[in-house]
A and B are shown apart, each in its own frame.
Chain A
Amino acid sequence: MKKIYTRPASLKEAHFHYCPGCGHGIINRLIAEVIDEMGLRGKAICVAPAGCGMLVYNYFDIDTLESAHGRGAAVATGIKRVRPDNLVFSYQGDGDLAAIGTAEGFHAANRGELITVIFVNNGVYGMTGGQMAPTTLKEQITTTTPSGRNPVSAGHPVRVCEVFSVLDGTSYLERVAVNSPSGIKKTKKAIAKAFQHQINRTGFSLVEILSPCPTNWKMSPIESFRWIDEVMTKQFPLGVIKEVKC
C-alpha cells in the first residue's frame, strides 16, 4: 500500500504541547516538511526562542539551540558566520522579534545576514498568559490591555515585514496565514522560498505567519481562523512584501 501521509523525518516522534487550535504545530510540521523535501536535514540549525515556540527542539529532529528571549537573530548570526554552508533559521514570536529582540532582528536584517527568521505572529504573549504584544491590534483585549489596546498609551500594532522591507539587506519578506488549507499551502511555499534565498545567498529572509491563539484570544479554533481573515489581515495584509531576484 502506498503511504500518502506520514511524519516528516525532521520531526521527532513526540506529542506537541501546543493548545488545541494553535498554529505552532502546523508551522512546525511545515518547516520539517520543507527541510525534508529540500534535503536539508543534515544542514539545518534552528535557533529556538523564549515563548510558546521555545520547545520546538522537542519536536524538530535537527540541531537546535535555545536562545535567550529576543536574541535569536544575533545567535543565528554567530552560527551562520562560522558555518556559512549550513541552513540557519530562528523561530521567533511577536514579543520575541518585535519587542525585546527588535534591535537584534532589525540589525541582522540590515546587515543582510544570510539567515531566515520564521516569525510567528499571533498578536499576544502566549506562553506567559496572553499579555499585549507589539502586534496586538487596536482595541484588542489582552490581560495587560483589559479594556482594549489604546494606541494613545500602548502604541500601535507593529508591521514587521513592512518595517524590514526598507532595509537594503533584506531579500525576501512574505506574510502568510495558517488559518485555511490554501493559507497553509502558501505558508509552506513561503518557507521554502525563504530557505532558497538563504541558500542562494541573496540576503536576509523572513516569513511572517499569522497564527491563531484560541486560548488567549478566548475564541474557539473556528472563530480564531475566521478572526484572522476578518480582522487581523486588515492590519497585517497578506502577500509578498519584498522580493529581490533570487
Chain B
Amino acid sequence: MKRLMSGNAALGEAAILSGCTCYFGYPITPQNELTEYMAKRMPESGGVFIQSESEIAAINMVLGASVAGARAMTSSSSPGMSLKQEGISYLAADELPAVIVNMVRGGPGMGNISPAQSDYLQATRGGGHGDYRTIVLAPSSVQELVDIVPLAFDLADAYRNPVIILGDGMLGQMMEPVDFSDIKKPKDYPKDYILTGAENRPSRMVRSLLFDTKEEEEHNWKLYRKFQRIEANEVRCETFMTDDAEIVVVAYGIAARIAKGAIKRLRQENIKAGLLRPITLWPFPSKNIVELARYVNDFFVFEMSTGQMIEDVKLALSGRGHVNFYGRPGGVIPTPIELARIVSRHYYQTQKVKRQ
C-alpha cells in the first residue's frame, strides 16, 4: 500500500526497515522532519534516538554505535555537513560503516534553506581530510529515496565505508506516495572488527593513528584498492531517451527530474535530447558517458550550482565531446521550460555552426 510522505519522513521509515537501530541528529532546515520522525519512531521500534549537542557530536555517536556493531545514521544539511566531515574522515580511516544524509541547501556559509546541489564536490571528494572517498547516492524522487536507503546500508556494511545520501531541500520536504514493500530484512554481515568486550577472545583495537609512515602508506593503499573495487562494481546510473539522442543532458537528483520535463518538451520540438542521470555520484558513471560519446558529441550538464559535477563529466570525456553547462545556484529552483529554452537555443546555435 502506498503512503503519502515527505522525503525526510519516508527516509526515516526506510532506514528503520533497513535495520537502522541508531539515529543521532541535530536540528537544521530542511531536514528537520527526518530528526522529528526518528524521535517518534526509533523508541517505538526499540532503537536509539539522541538529539545531539552538535553535528560533530552526532557523527561521533554514529561512529561509536557503528564500532559497537549497530546500523547507524545521522542527517543534516549543508552547514551541518561541514561539521560532520571530521567524523566522516575517521569513519573512513577506521573502515566503519555509516549512512549520512545531506539534504543540501543554498550556500556557502549560512546560505539559505532552499534546495541546492552545491555540496557535490564536498560529497564526492571525501569532504574531510586525508585520502579517502565516500560512496554518494543521489535519488531523484521520494520513492527512489526509499529504495536507496537499504542499498546505502548494504554498501556501507559490504565495503565498511561511510555512504552519503545526497538529497536536497525539495526532495526532503516534498510529499509523494511511497511504497516500502520492496525493503527486505537486512542480511547479516560478518562483523569481526566490532568492539563487544574481549570476552573469551583477544582484545581488539580500532584506530587510525599509524605513526610508522610505511604502515600509514600501506593503510592508504589498502583503502585505495577498496575504492577501486567500488568504482569497478558499484556504478549506477539511469538513461532516458538516449538511444537516438543528438544531445545528452547530464543531471542528478532533483535537477534530473526537472531535466526530464525539459527533454519531453524538446522532443515535442523534434530536438533529439536525452538524459544521463548518475545515481552514484561517486563512483561516477564515467564509462557510461564515454559509451554515449561514441555517437553523441554534445553534452549539457545541468546542476543547481555554479557547476561542480561538470568537472567529472569533462574528466570522463577527456575531450571526446563538447561539454556545455547551465546552472542556478543559491537555492533557485529552475523549471523544465527554462532548461528546454536554454538547451534548444544551444541546439539551434550549434546546428547553424554545423551548416557553415
Contact = CB atoms under 8 A, between A and B. Distances in A.
A81 to B, nearest CB: 4
30 contacts: A42-B198, A43-B197, A44-B198, A45-B68, A62-B203, A63-B196, A63-B198, A63-B205, A64-B206, A65-B67, A65-B206, A65-B207, A71-B60, A71-B63, A71-B87, A74-B58, A74-B60, A74-B61, A75-B63, A78-B24, A78-B62, A78-B66, A78-B67, A78-B72, A81-B50, A81-B61, A103-B57, A104-B53, A104-B60, A107-B53
Given A43-B199, A63-B196, A65-B195, A78 B68 contact: yes
Interface string A81-100: 11100110000000000000
Interface stretch (A22-30, A53-61, A116-124, A140-148): A53-61
Contacts of A103: 53-54, 56-57
B204 interface: yes
Contact of B198 (A61, A77, A82): A61
Interface residues of A, number: 36
Nearest to A65: B206
Nearest to A60: B203
A79 B206 contact: no
B196 A66 contact: no
A156 B162 CA distance: 40
Nearest to A43: B197
Interface in B51-85: 52-54, 56-58, 60-70, 72
Given A71-B60, A74-B64, 14 more contacts: A41-B197, A44-B198, A45-B197, A62-B203, A63-B196, A65-B206, A67-B60, A68-B87, A71-B87, A78-B60, A81-B22, A82-B65, A103-B54, A107-B52
A87 to B, nearest CB: 8
Given A78-B64, A82-B22, A103-B57, A62 B50 contact: no
A139 B60 CA distance: 36
Given A42-B200, A44-B197, A86-B197, A78 B54 contact: no
Contacts of A48: 207
- DSSP class of B's interface residues: helix, strand, loop or mixed? mixed
A173 interface: no
Nearest to A63: B195
B229 to A, nearest CB: 26
B68 A83 contact: yes
A77 B200 contact: no
A75 B197 contact: no
A213 interface: no
Contacts of A44: 197-198
- DSSP class of A's interface residues: helix, strand, loop or mixed? mixed
B90 interface: yes
Interface residues of B, number: 40
Interface in B187-217: 195-200, 203-209
A75 B61 contact: yes
B22 to A, nearest CB: 6
A108 to B, nearest CB: 8
A76 interface: yes
B86 interface: yes
A79 B199 contact: no
Contacts of A68: 60, 86-87, 90
Contacts of A43: 197, 199
B48 interface: yes
A71 B83 CA distance: 13
Contact of B196 (A64, A83, A107): A83
B49 to A, nearest CB: 9
A84 to B, nearest CB: 10
A129 B52 CA distance: 33
Contacts of B53: 103-104, 106-107
A104 B207 contact: no
Contacts of B63: 67, 71, 75, 78
A107 B52 CA distance: 8
A35 B206 CA distance: 20
Contacts of B204: 63-64
A64 B199 contact: no
B22 A64 contact: no
A106 B52 CA distance: 12
Contacts of A86: 196-197
Contacts of B50: 77, 81, 111
Nearest to A69: B86
Contacts of B65: 78-79, 81-82
A41 B203 CA distance: 9
Contacts of B86: 68
A43 B198 CA distance: 7
Interface string A166-201: 000000000000000000000000000000000000
B209 A54 contact: yes
A66 B60 contact: no
Nearest to B57: A74
